[in-house]
Amino acid sequence: MRSALLILGDAPNRRMVLASLAILLTGCATADRYVKTAPEGVINQTDFRYRETIDTGHRIPAIDAYEIDPRLLRVTVTYKTQYRPGTVVVDIAARRLYLVQAGGQALRYAVGVGREDALNFHGKAAIGRKEVWPSWTPTARMIERIPRYAAYSSGMSGGVDNPLGARALYLYRDGRDTEFRIHGTNEPASIGTAVSSGCIRLFNHDIIDLYARIPIGAPVVVM
Compute the distance between CA of residue 42 and CA of residue 66 in angstroms, rounded to an integer: 8
- 39 part of a folded domain: no
pTM for the model: 0.77
- 38 part of a folded domain: no
3-state DSSP call for residue 12? helix
- 41 part of a folded domain: no
Q: Do 66 and 92 have their domain in common? A: yes
- 40 part of a folded domain: no
Q: Do 103 and 22 have their domain in common? A: no
Q: State yes or no: pLDDT of 96 exceeds 60.
A: yes
Full domain range(s) for residue 160: 48-222
Burial of 84 (0-12, 13-18, 19+ CB in 10 A): exposed
Mean pLDDT of 171-185: 95
Selecting among 28, 58, 122, 199, the annotated active-site residue is 199
Q: Do 132 and 209 have their domain in common? A: yes
Mean pLDDT of 56-84: 91
Q: 62 and 52 in contact (C-beta within 8 Å)?
A: yes
CATH number at residue 120: 2.40.440.10
3-state DSSP call for residue 188? helix
Selecting among 28, 122, 183, 205, the annotated active-site residue is 183
Structural domains in the chain (count)? 2
Q: What percentage of the chain carries pLDDT values higher than 90?
A: 59
pLDDT digits (tens, 9 = 90+) for 5-52: 333 445 444 444 444 433 333 333 223 222 334 444 444 455 788 999
Q: 214 and 126 in contact (C-beta within 8 Å)?
A: no
Residue 183 annotated to the active site: yes
